[in-house]
Structure 1
Amino acid sequence: MSRHKPQELSSHELLARIGLSEAHPFDLLDDEPLEGPRGDPGAVLRARYQSLVQSQPFTPGQLVAWKPGLKNKRVPRYGQPAVVIEVLETPVLDREDEAGSTYFREPLDVVLGLLWDEGPARGEFVTFYYDSRRFRATDEEG
């Protein structure tokens, strides 16, 4: 049997591996309630629902970004543009098995391309499937 010496990681490398960094900070202890106008979280829920169900048609080549409050994946970041590669006629359902997951049976109906912005692959063009209801157009040209 050979012994394998574990690779030593700096605290910055460890945080980056689990998705935390200075560039992408998350407050893991943030448990304060969300508050909307006049302290009404219900108003926030209704506004986010309206934003989610208000869809707009996308075309290949069009630039899009997350709608405020509807980002449910790590990339792209808020404000980072993505380009529409393909709009699927029939959505692919996320195959996440756990019903408690935010991705469980999520209808993925648009393929977006973006520039990877970290690590050795920085600047590479990558594509991912998303739920188009969570995005808004950021330009008028397609």
Structure 2
Amino acid sequence: MAATPPALAVYGGLPAAKVASQAYLEAIKDTRVLIADICKQFYSHGWVSGTGSSITIKAHDDTIPKRQQFILMSPSGVQKERMEPDDMYVLATNGSILSSPSPKPYPHKPPKCSDCAPLFLTVFGSIMSST
């Protein structure tokens, strides 16, 4: 009889096996909170519309090679003033989605990664290759 694989630890929707350290998990958590706060502040200042625009930040850690650091992105179609840390997408630098927000009950629409994701990933890619 085949042994069952061990359960995969998950932190904020991210498989712990994909994350290099506990400290980086905290950096990801802090970045989720920061993006939610920025979205709410930008909305309150009138700098963004309710569902328009997106905020994207790379979760930084000097001990992890830049190409392996994750990019966190606010979703498309979510009211900025209602943004929560768990609403963020987590992407690898190659654009693959590592974690997406859980759908919220009706009448909310299912979460969608920002249409600006390719643009953001291009910018992050050129920044990371130039350093």
- What is the TM-score when the length of structure 2 is the normalising length? 0.27
Higher Cα Rg, which structure: 1
Larger helix percent:
2
More strand by share: 1
